[in-house]
Amino acid sequence: MVSQSVDYDVVVCGAGIPGAALACALGQQGWNVALLDARPISAAAVELGEEYDPRVYAIAPASQKFLTELGVWPQIAAARISPYRQMQVWERAGVGELSFDAAEAGLAELGHIIEDRVITTALAQRLESMATVTLMAPAELLGFETQGQQISCELTDGQHLSAKLLVGADGADSKVRILSQIETVSWPYKQTAIVATVTTEKAHEETAWQRFLPAGPLAFLPLGDGRSSIVWSTTPERAVELRAMADAEFMAALGQASEDRLGAITATTTRLGFPLRLLHASQYSAARTVLIGDAAHSIHPLAGQGVNLGLADAYVLAQELGVAGAHEAGRQQPLRRYARRRKSENVAMLTVTDGLYRLFGMRSPLPTMTRNLGLALVNILPPVKHRLLRQAAGL
Ligand SMILES: Cc1cc2nc3c(=O)[nH]c(=O)nc-3n(C[C@H](O)[C@H](O)[C@H](O)COP(=O)(O)OP(=O)(O)OC[C@H]3O[C@@H](n4cnc5c(N)ncnc54)[C@H](O)[C@@H]3O)c2cc1C
């Protein structure tokens, strides 16, 4: 038996941060939206104990501005956020270093380190309060077909939803992208990012520290309680070893890899690992479908920009759809305008992160001395630094 179809302006598949933010922005415009996710989503306030969520993001000022417009920033800020005002990048101590300071770009901070659960809960609470948005989770998209001015979505539990537009915010393995037959350029980085929360002997000074090692970059992101969240990208084989090590052995390896920049590592949580790859969709839209976030582009985390790019996608798509009006959702014109505005910025960031990965990687053709000279040179060229800073801030 075919269940009766429920009608929406837009169905958003995937309630990660970009998908939830888009649903919120469209809901605020008065659109009738269904947001679905295969995982259960809770709007219940999170108990913020001593332990930080191992998934944290460096959220840029432009993303903060969007989250403020969505009405969720006060909740996020009241929960737990950690500003970072400086960034220190180096390859080998004392040879060539690059430092960024928020004040140089006229900013109060470069951004905030925020836990995934803090942002997703604030968005879920906001969505729950909106009469225009129906949050369905767990609910998994199985397939879809276009029927004239509508797209009909089938869920794995047999439910049917129809809409004028289906948004694929369903991550790097996007079903919406695959079923829309949108091709990708993609390659594995042959690196795994290890994340953990660590305690260091010295204060982090509200600075994000990043060292480029031949096997991949190692970042220390400052947390509000004085600890740091690390993202250590390395070969998959080394990642397996590092995750299996006893804590003491891991802390010694981490101290050595960071040249003890923050002193000895005195405590660590267990480690999680994320395989890394580059991915870019050849087009961002097809017949009545459009992609945002990692479904459209997945980049190396060394610049901490994935969520920020996804939020910028959501912002621009909501804006273009708003200009077109709900009755025009799903038509190619607003979707093409969205793609035109976002593609250049996403490709630029993807190129920079991929370029840095190659420049400092094991197979880099440039000797260490040349790279370090490059870092030192950028460091003494205020206009170049200023531009890089404002780009990272999304301004
Ligand atoms: C180690 C690491 C560190 C990072 N650090 C940063 C950082 O500091 N700053 C930053 O900006 N970015 C960072 N990123 C990048 C960031 O994690 C991603 O860009 C971001 O999570 C992508 O969000 P998304 O919602 O597009 O995709 P996802 O997070 O993959 O979410 C997709 C959602 O879609 C749902 N879904 C999938 N298929 C279906 C289906 N068929 N039906 C229903 N639901 C479905 C999934 O359940 C999931 O909830 C980091 C990434 C890594 C790996």
The DSSP line for 15-54 is -SHHHHHHHHHHHHTT--EEEE-SS----SPP---SSPPS
Q: Is the pLDDT of residue 310 over 70?
A: yes
Q: What phi and psi values does residue 147 have, to the nearest 5 degrees?
A: -135, 90
pLDDT per residue over 183-192, tens digit each?
999 999 999 9
pLDDT at site 153:
97
**Residue 306 CA, ligand 1 centroid: distance in Å:** 8
Q: Is the pLDDT of residue 394 over 90?
A: no
Helix (H) or strand (E) holding 169: none
Decide whether any atom of ligand 1 lies within 6 Å of the 171 Cβ: yes
Under DSSP, the state recorded for 226 is S
Q: Which atom of ligand 1 is nearest to the CA of 172?
A: 30
Choose the weakest-confidence range: 139-153, 288-302, 326-340, 379-393.
Answer: 379-393
pLDDT per residue over 113-127, tens digit each?
999 999 999 999 999
pLDDT at site 51:
87
State how far the Cα of 135 lies from the Cα of 27, in Å rounded to an integer: 11
pLDDT per residue over 330-387, tens digit each?
899 999 999 999 999 999 999 988 888 888 776 666 667 677 666 666 666 666 667 7
The one-letter amino acid at 291: L
pLDDT per residue over 198-213, tens digit each?
999 999 999 999 999 9
Residue nearest atom 4 of ligand 1, based on CA coordinates: 301
Decide whether any atom of ligand 1 lies within 6 Å of the 57 Cβ: yes
Choose the weakest-confidence range: 96-100, 283-287, 391-395.
Answer: 391-395
Mean pLDDT to the nearest integer, 34-48: 88
Residue nearest atom 15 of ligand 1, based on CA coordinates: 306
Decide whether any atom of ligand 1 lies within 6 Å of the 170 Cβ: yes
- Strand 5-7 relative to strand 160-163, pairing: parallel
pLDDT per residue over 250-286, tens digit each?
999 999 999 999 999 999 999 999 999 999 999 999 9
pLDDT at site 375:
66
Q: Is the pLDDT of residue 93 over 70?
A: no
| Cα 227 to the center of its chain, rounded Å | 21
* 3-state SS assignment for residue 286: strand
Decide whether any atom of ligand 1 lies within 6 Å of the 310 Cβ: yes
Helix (H) or strand (E) holding 266: strand 265-268
Q: Which atom of ligand 1 is nearest to the CA of 307?
A: 11
Decide whether any atom of ligand 1 lies within 6 Å of the 16 Cβ: yes
Q: Is the pLDDT of residue 1 over 60?
A: no
Decide whether any atom of ligand 1 lies within 6 Å of the 195 Cβ: yes
Mean pLDDT over each residue of the chain, to the nearest integer: 91
pLDDT at site 365:
62
Q: Is 246 exposed, middle or buried (0-12, 13-18, 19+ CB in 10 A)?
A: exposed
Mean pLDDT to the nearest integer, 40-63: 88
Instruction: Out of 55, 56, 57, 220, give the residue to mutate to test ligand 1, the one with the largest number of ligand atoms within 8 Å of its CB.
Output: 57
pLDDT at site 385:
67
Q: What phi and psi values does residue 236 have, to the nearest 5 degrees?
A: -55, -35
- Strand 10-13 relative to strand 33-36, pairing: parallel
Q: What percent of the chain has pLDDT over 70?
A: 91
pLDDT band at 6 (very low <50, low <70, confident <90, very high): confident
On whether the pTM is more than 0.75, the answer is yes
pLDDT at site 44:
80
pLDDT at site 361:
75
Decide whether any atom of ligand 1 lies within 6 Å of the 37 Cβ: yes
pLDDT at site 126:
97
pLDDT at site 339:
97
pLDDT at site 5:
76
Q: Which atom of ligand 1 is nearest to the CA of 231?
A: 1
Mean pLDDT to the nearest integer, 68-96: 90
